[in-house]
A and B are shown apart, each in its own frame.
Chain A
Amino acid sequence: MFRLLPYMKKYRLQSVLAPFFKMTEAVFELFVPLIVAKIIDEGIGGNDEALIVRYCLLLALLALAGLALAVAAQFFSARAAVGFASEVRKGLYKKVFSLPASESDRLGTNRLITMLTGDVVQLQTGVNMVLRLFMRSPVVVIGAVVMAFIADPRGLAGGGLWFLVAVPLLALAVGGVMIFSIRRYKASRSSVEDLTLELRENLSGMRVFRSFGQEEHRKKRFEKMNDAASRALVRAGRVSALTGPFTMVIVDLGIVALLWSGAVSVKAGALSTGKLIALYNYMTQILIELIKLANLIVTVTKSAACADRVGRVLALDASLAKIPPELSGGEEEIAFEHVDLTYPDGTKALKDVSFSIGRGQTLGIIGGTGAGKSSVISLIMRYYDPTGGRILCGGRDLRSLDESALRARIGLVPQKPELFRGTVAENLRFGDPSADDETLWDALTAADADGIVRSKAGGLDAEVEQYGRNFSGGQKQRLTVARALVRRPEILILDDSFSALDYATEAKLKKSLSELSYRPTTVIVSQRASSLRRADRILVLDEGGQVGLGTHEELYASCPVYREICLSQESEGGDAQ
């Protein structure tokens, strides 16, 4: 939780001032019962009307000061809470984009999003509460006890004793209830998370449900989870509802004890009536304060759980390993030397893979599902570092290069074509914000995507919805190819980027890519042998192992896995070449 403190730095002043003002206000409030005692004992008791007026004016003055202090406290607290939330959110967001992929993949997209949206808001509420109220409660409770001893200076022989008995009892009751209810709220929260997940799934699978007539079935499922979530919430609420009754009983017992012992003292002349009333007032003040505190603690624990989650992510080490630059190996654009990759979850993705490609050449990577094709790409992009062997780029170990400088040379067309909300032009300029319209059109033409853009109202300024939802899979693939080309990359990576394209479109696209004037080094991942046929070298992967490396002809003659792939695809008729 304290990991988040640095994010408060910018608002250090506000976060000190808010509780300071709040506490000062509380101290002012504590004087009220003493003043009233004075009015009763000396004013009423001594028939001194002038004194009554004077002290009542003092009460009004205290009220005015309280107002000013409270407004100031609210102001600084709102500032600090909102600012703090904003800092944490920004920090977390930045983190998401600087963490090694191994970490962010482990956390998962959904969790990251929940943290950035839900948890941060909860934190904001928590901080606001803590600054405004949390500091106030102890001041009032302890202050009331102290004041009780001041009002009745007989020490433990006087009414103060009952405060020393009641306060720990109250703390025990409130604390006990709290611990239980926090546990139950946690359970309830996880059932709400399940329900959210179910809802998301329903939204993503709606077409399937409706085509299979599953509406009823899904409804029952949702309702069942909805009921479970409700039950958990009821159970949690049941415990926390005990706070009020418990405190009420304890405080009233305290009051009775106070009155009883007070009565004896008053009769003996050891205590004035006014002082007894002051003691009674302090006891009620404690009660009111503790109830507030109990409500507060529930909110704060929720926030603390969020703070813990968020803090842990923020504390993750963002940097990939760095080794000193050294020139070794040849001049090849990309070279893998006995590379192994094991993912953090223990999955062995690649075993002893070695290959190299020269500048301007084309490497094809082929293999079945799970063969490790995308892992090779992840390594080139340096989303991951190899767990064995090394990767060279231009003769230098990847780990000695600056990540962003490395990526700036690469144009990646990812397997899943993702576009972002904005305009087509904004999406295309992703890799090169300074590109002019002509460059964009050139890239679009090369990617066979110019037609798509022309057909949209607004052309380059046509709107792209979230996730590029208003484009079909094939359109998105070609637009992502264009996006990669806009930056005129030295290395072009096509990670199974033609999967949604028909053969004719693919052929056209491949042809125009091979005619690019700047001749990028190209890495093509595909499941279609025909897509890779003309590559200078083809890497054949099978379950993470390298089973072949060579040209189409060489592999066809020597690599059984490759031959099997080719044969099975050629027998399918149309696409045999």
Chain B
Amino acid sequence: MTKKEIMRRIFRYIAGEKGLTFCSFAASAVYVALTLAVPILVGRAVGTLETGKIGGIFPYLAVILACAGAGALCQWIMGEINNRISVRILRDLRADAYRKLSKLPFSYLDRVPSGDTVSRIMTDAEALVDGILMGFTQLFTGVLTVVGTVVFMLTMNVTVTLVVAVLTPLSVFFARFIARGTFRHFKKRSELQADLTAYTEETVTGRKVVRAFGREEETYAAFAEKDEKLRRISGKAIFLSSLTNPVTRFLNALVYAAVTLVGAFLCVRGGNMTVGMLTSFLAYANQYTKPFNEISGVLAELQNAFACAARVFEFLDEEEETPDPADPAEVRVTGRVGAEDVSFSYTKEQKLIEHFSLDVRPGEHIAIVGPTGCGKTTLINLLMRFYDVNAGRMTVEGVDVRALRRRDLRASYGMVLQENWIGKMSVTDNIRRGKPDATAKEVEAAARAAHAHGFISRLPQGYDTVLEENGEGLSAGQRQLICIAAVMLVDPPMLILDEATASIDTRTEKKIQDAFEKLMRGRTTFIVAHRLSTIRNADKILVMNNGSIVESGTHEELLKKGGFYARLYNAQYA
């Protein structure tokens, strides 16, 4: 992404705050004018000394005080407004990023580490606002100060003004030269930082495994290597970017010397110059350096900010999932699901499901059977349209799922997996996640039906207990019961269930089994099955292996066929 594009994007955000931006500009213009007036007034005050009349100094002093008061007020207003603008833009950026997030396809979410996304939305967005917006406001006051100073100086003496005005821009030239050199380093630094962060996240999370295998040394060595790379490039980037300041300050000190020289000569040779004016000029030469310093400082900071901005906008530009159709089909879902000649794979290299067809009538139970890792997640991904098929079509009630709104499609499924997500919110809110307007009574009824009421009422605050992120503190079974309750509350026509294997204690397991049976009654159900009874009672069995569907049929049919299922069955149950 080029800087120009980044700028255009940022301006679009600023455009939303036109009124405030205008006020900020106005306040800073007044502030700059008032600050610039002070050196002139001081010069005049000094000038009165030469006349020898002390009384002449008082009006100037009064005006200086007035300027100081009004200037301070403007500066405060400016600060407040700029602060507001930048915070609002930060907020808008994050809100947009969140909107983006909710539209990203699972192919993105499954591929990109979550830490990377979080750092783009949190850290990079902040760096963008800090660097670029603060930069702009400084840039504006800076430029205004430069222009104002030149104007004020011109009113006093043209020759000295020329000395200042011609020499000073040199520093900007140098600053830009330096900035260009550092951009590359900052970008590289961002990349290395991201790599180190990913590695840190993973190894710190898995620290017990690392220690169990005595891998502390190696893990540390790899970390130190990444760290060393980062250290080198950071050192370079920081040093190079910080050169701007000394270089511009040097040039400005030279200007100061030149002004003194020329000014003093003009004074001596009677060239329309007084000591009072020289005082003002020197103050200007000093202040004049300040905006240039700031401008060049900003230019250096901007490099880092642009690198971060690029990461933010890259994220905002990620390809979204295909939008829902403008005119979505409305179907009354009775539970008829089909797959017509479906082919699907995550990557081109590894083919998974090919030419698969299936017709499920309302209320039928489909057992998904296969060895561990057979690819049941893939099937769920297609049913729920977390992923789109590569060829063929998935249907509900005979309608291509792509003609439906995703929301509607997903709302018609209730999904209970083994690992169930629990949010950091109250039990009630967790249960009514699919139906936020459900009453406390409805929630409790659902919890009772899911056999979750018992343990919930034993929690410290019952239904109001705020659960930990990821449901820490609850057992896997309890998490599953809460999820079942959530599904019961929504009462969807179709189900996707994952039968428990082992990580649940027996009493809870029974409850879950019982709740599953209740749920399945009269509903089209896809169930990842382990229990023989579930498999036998299914209307159809899909046998999966290595990600693809290898056989399908009823228990008897498949046994007769003597294929993969029969072998699996014999190994397991016979």
Contacts and interface: CB of A to CB of B under 8 A. Distances in A.
B261 interface: yes
A505 B65 contact: no
B531 interface: yes
Given A36-B282, A81-B238, A197-B469, A273 B50 contact: yes
Interface string B464-505: 000001100001111000000010001000000000011111
A467 interface: yes
B34 to A, nearest CB: 9
B403 interface: no
B54 A288 contact: no
A74 B50 CA distance: 44
Contacts of B95: 222-223, 226
Given A233-B90, A276-B49, 9 more contacts: A82-B235, A192-B122, A204-B421, A211-B415, A237-B80, A259-B61, A280-B46, A503-B572, A564-B506
A237 B69 CA distance: 21
Nearest to B571: A504
Nearest to A45: B275
Given A230-B91, A252-B38, A40 B202 contact: no
B230 interface: yes
Contact of B98 (A222, A467, A483, A564): A222
Interface in A208-260: 208-215, 217-219, 222-223, 226-227, 229-230, 233-234, 237-238, 241-242, 244-246, 248-249, 252-253, 255-256, 259-260
B109 A113 contact: no
The 9 closest A-B pairs by CB, nearest first: A474-B372, A241-B79, A574-B532, A63-B253, A252-B68, A368-B505, A70-B246, A237-B83, A369-B475
Given A78-B235, A97-B220, A369-B476, A466 B110 contact: no
B474 to A, nearest CB: 9
Interface stretch (B192-200, B336-344, B357-365, B549-557): B192-200
A214 B433 CA distance: 7
A498 interface: yes
A86 interface: yes
A117 B490 contact: no
A200 B43 CA distance: 59
B371 A505 contact: yes
Given A204-B421, A502-B371, A82 B231 contact: yes
Contacts of A67: 246-247, 249-250
A573 B555 CA distance: 15
Nearest to B470: A204
Contact of A62 (B67, B101, B117, B253): B253
Contacts of A209: 102, 433
Contact of A93 (B206, B220, B245, B418): B220
Interface string B491-527: 0000000000111111111100100000000000000
6 contacts: A212-B433, A233-B83, A277-B46, A281-B283, A369-B505, A430-B215
A487 B436 CA distance: 52
A198 B200 CA distance: 21
Q: What class of interface size applies to chain A in its complex with B? A: 35 or more
Central interface residue in A117, A201, A505, A569, by most chain B CB within 10 Å: A117
A70 B245 contact: yes
B214 interface: yes
A187 interface: no
Interface in B189-246: 193, 196-216, 218-220, 223-224, 227-228, 230-231, 234-235, 238-239, 242-243, 245-246
Nearest to A265: B49
Nearest to A29: B253
B254 A60 contact: yes
A128 B245 CA distance: 14
A117 B197 contact: yes
B206 A418 contact: yes
A574 B568 CA distance: 13
B371 A431 contact: no
Nearest to A72: B246
Given A211-B410, A280-B42, A40 B275 contact: yes
Tell me the interface secondary structure of chain B in the complex. helix
A35 B373 CA distance: 82
B176 interface: no
B279 interface: yes
A516 interface: no
A160 interface: no
A74 B421 contact: no
B384 interface: yes
A418 B131 CA distance: 38
Contacts of A222: 95, 98
A383 interface: yes
B217 to A, nearest CB: 9
A276 B224 CA distance: 58
A491 to B, nearest CB: 11
Interface stretch (A147-155, A332-340, A387-395, A402-410): A402-410
Interface in B378-433: 384, 386, 406-407, 410-411, 413, 415, 418-421, 423-424, 433
B253 A59 contact: yes
Contact of B203 (A77, A79, A420, A572): A420
B239 A75 contact: yes
Nearest to B194: A117
Contacts of B61: 256, 259-260
B91 A273 contact: no
Interface in B82-122: 83-84, 87-88, 90-91, 94-95, 98-99, 101-102, 106, 109-110, 113-115, 117-118, 121-122
B439 interface: no
Contact of A104 (B67, B207, B219, B256): B207
A213 B502 contact: no
Contact of B71 (A39, A104, A124, A248): A248
A496 B503 contact: yes
A205 interface: yes
Contacts of B208: 101, 381, 383, 414
Interface in A495-540: 496, 498-505, 507-508, 526-528, 531
A43 interface: yes
A446 to B, nearest CB: 16
Given A83-B231, A207-B386, A246-B72, A574 B533 contact: yes
A214 B434 contact: yes
B284 to A, nearest CB: 11
A206 B104 CA distance: 10
A205 B286 CA distance: 57
Which of A90, A94, A132, A213 neighbours the largest number of chain B CB atoms within 10 Å of its CB? A213
Contact of B200 (A71, A117, A284): A117
B216 A98 contact: yes
Given A96-B204, A97-B216, A78 B373 contact: no
Contact of A455 (B507, B531, B532, B546): B546
Interface stretch (A48-56, A137-145, A308-316): A48-56
Contacts of A319: none
A572 B504 CA distance: 14
A528 B501 CA distance: 9
A199 B121 contact: yes
B64 interface: yes
A205 B197 CA distance: 22
A547 B52 CA distance: 105
A71 B371 contact: no
Contacts of A202: 98, 101
Contacts of B267: 44
B242 A502 contact: no
B327 interface: no
Among the interface residues A43, A82, A471, which one has the most CB atoms of the partner chain B within 10 A? A82
A270 interface: no
A457 interface: yes
A467 B202 contact: yes
Contact of A531 (B76, B218, B502): B502
Contacts of B88: 230
A9 interface: no
